[in-house]
Amino acid sequence: MRVYLISLGWLVAGSALGADWTAEVTAFCAQNQESCVELQELRPVRTRAGHYRFVVSEVQEGSAWVLLQRLVEGHDSPAVRSALVPAIGPLLRVRPGLVLSLFEQETDSAVRVRLVAEMKEAPAEFAQVLLPHALGDDDPRVRETAVAMVGYQPAGRQWTHQLETLLADVDPSVRAMSARSLGWIDAKGSFSALVMGLQDTDANVRLQTLSALRRLDDQRLRGLTSVQRLQQDADSRVASLARRVLLER
């Protein structure tokens, strides 16, 4: 029977945790040889939405490191590797150094997206280790996910300046999510910065901006002439929301 041993390479170089990880995986595989092989060869299932998801009855810490090995070694397809991330989520959400190391070395943007998404359930002080890096990622999907995670943070207002900067991002999905998150974190001081989004060429940016401004200060919003114009917006969602805003007088 094959027994897989972990080879963490760059991930544990110079880390005091490296020995612990290796010892845990070695011990797990020595005592659970069949489970070790099964985890290395486990295939994900497809959800109704077409995404991959790993179904593991019980992920103990030792078995989670075995799944981490698969992620690090990179022999699976990007879609499968992305699905491995939530399977090891319990490890990532309590080890900020681990998730940051993975993120910085990961070349596939889909995997980086999933790493950032795991920060939704992480303690705030741990999520804040990764977010500064993710907000400046080269891939707009990663930036959009990071902006969304800021919206879930109890102390999300500390990222107000970064979100305001991303209101001018080249990608409309990032601009829209930045506006949305500024509303979520109740960044009332960002009202003026958000207003420019009401004239954005992308309909979803206009919609999320209008929604965020409504949340922050609906009375001030109704005083903007641009809201009057949005009643005739080419996008029915924007036009409908603008009319509702004005009817709330």
The residues spanned by each domain of the chain are 158-249
Distance from C-alpha of 7 to C-alpha of 157, rounded to nearest angstrom = 40
pLDDT digits 0-9 by tens, 11-48: 443 343 444 566 777 788 888 888 888 888 888 888 88
Distance from C-alpha of 56 to C-alpha of 60, rounded to nearest angstrom = 10
Averaged pLDDT, 112-124: 92
pLDDT score for 61: 61
pLDDT digits 0-9 by tens, 49-83: 778 888 776 556 677 888 888 888 888 898 999 99
6-10, 43-47, 125-129, 149-153: least confident range: 6-10
Contact 181, 151 (CB under 8 A): yes
Distance from C-alpha of 69 to C-alpha of 172, rounded to nearest angstrom = 36
pLDDT digits 0-9 by tens, 138-188: 999 999 999 999 999 888 899 999 999 999 999 999 999 999 999 999 999
Provide the CATH number for the domain formed by 158-249 in this structure: 1.25.10.10
Which residues, including other chains, have CB under 8 Å from residue 216's CB and lie 6 or more apart?
A: 182, 183, 186, 187, 188, 190, 191, 194
